[in-house]
Amino acid sequence: MLGGTTEARELARLIAEDGRFEGTLSLAGMTRSPVPSPLDVRTGGFGGADGLADYLQRNGIDVLVDATHPFASAISANAVAAAAAVGIPCLAVRRPPWEEVPGDRWSRVPDIKSAVGALGEEPRRVFLTIGRKDLAPFRDTPRHSYVVRSVDPPPPGLLPPDATVIVARGPFALADEERLLRDHRIDTVVTKNSGGSATAAKLAAARNLGLPVVMVDRPPPAGAAVPTVEDAWHRLIAHHAGTGALRGV
């Protein structure tokens, strides 16, 4: 299983507790202190789709589960290609994206570059929750000040000039998110449409405070997927029983 998400951790627990399965969790190694897993863990890349295919074949893998982040498009594309190359199913788990509700003030943009442009010319106080890898483009807009939240401290070279860093891992409570936005005098939130409940409170907090949100849409999916861990688990059980439940996934 390619992991690093809440869904991967939940599915790993189910696999580890069921004697019908043996599993290995693969992490990219981007997080310094990942949450412990009950499965064997390998860390690091595979060297593209060919390297992943070689790993799957050498280790006799029967099913590849892609439970990576919805924005990990390159990894997901490699997973689909590698599974097809060795003739095994690839089961992707993708939590549903967040949807606007009454009171939201979203500006939807297709990518990080567009998110930078959406901030405009007027100086803003920006709450930036997009992950460490995508911070560098915001260095080009030093007129804004930023509060950056990340699971691990971002490298200083990626940070905008006027940035305050908060190191924290979700889930986050609504009251705490509202307090953060008020205390830091935030007037704009920038985030990726990751979906899920762990970090959704920031959107409710922005709604309650009347703040605009620049929402980066997800990249196109690499293949078909199921939306929940429960769906994925039922598919794995059915596949084990020989019903072919993973065909076409």
Over the stretch 227-241, which tens digit does the pLDDT of each residue have?
999 999 999 999 988
What integer is the mean pLDDT of 132-158?
93
Domain presence at residue 203: yes
SS3 54: helix
Residues 126, 56, single domain; the answer is no
Cα–Cα distance between 135 and 130 in angstroms, integer? 7
User: What is the pLDDT at residue 243?
Assistant: 62
Please list the helix, strand and coil fractions of the chain in percent, rounded to the nearest 5, in that order: 35, 20, 45
Residues 90, 124, single domain; the answer is no
Residues 228, 201, single domain; the answer is no
User: What is the pLDDT at residue 246?
Assistant: 57
Residues 209, 132, single domain; the answer is yes
Residues 32, 120, single domain; the answer is no
**Single-letter amino acid, residue 126:** V
Q: Contact, 16 vs 33, CB < 8 A? A: no
Residues 76, 160, single domain; the answer is no
Parent domain of 72: 6-95+220-240
Domain presence at residue 245: no
Residues 114, 144, single domain; the answer is yes
DSSP 9-39: HHHHHHHHT-TT---EEEE-S-SSSPPP-SS
User: What is the pLDDT at residue 245?
Assistant: 53
Residues 201, 110, single domain; the answer is yes
Q: Contact, 166 vs 147, CB < 8 A? A: yes
Domain presence at residue 183: yes
What value does the mean pLDDT of the chain take?
93
Domain presence at residue 100: no
Domain presence at residue 159: yes
Flag whether pLDDT at 102 surpasses 70. Answer: yes
User: What is the pLDDT at residue 247?
Assistant: 46
CATH of the domain at 53: 3.40.50
Domain presence at residue 121: yes
Residues 112, 79, single domain; the answer is no
User: What is the pLDDT at residue 244?
Assistant: 55
| Residue percentage of the chain with pLDDT more than 90 | 85
Domain presence at residue 47: yes
What integer is the mean pLDDT of 100-120?
97
Residues 89, 183, single domain; the answer is no
DSSP 188-244: EEEEE---SSTTTHHHHHHHHHT--EEEEPPPPPSS--BSSHHHHHHHHHHHHTTS-
**Dihedral angle at the C-alpha atoms of 23, 223, 229, 59, nearest 10 degrees?**
0
Q: How confident is the model at residue 80 (pLDDT cuts 50, 70, 90)?
A: very high
Residues 80, 111, single domain; the answer is no
Domain presence at residue 26: yes
Question: How is residue 140 annotated by DSSP?
Answer: G
Please, what is the end-to-end C-alpha distance for the chain in angstroms?
15
CB atoms within 10 A of CB 30: 15
Residues 227, 152, single domain; the answer is no
> Count of domains in the chain?
2
CATH of the domain at 166: 3.40.50.720
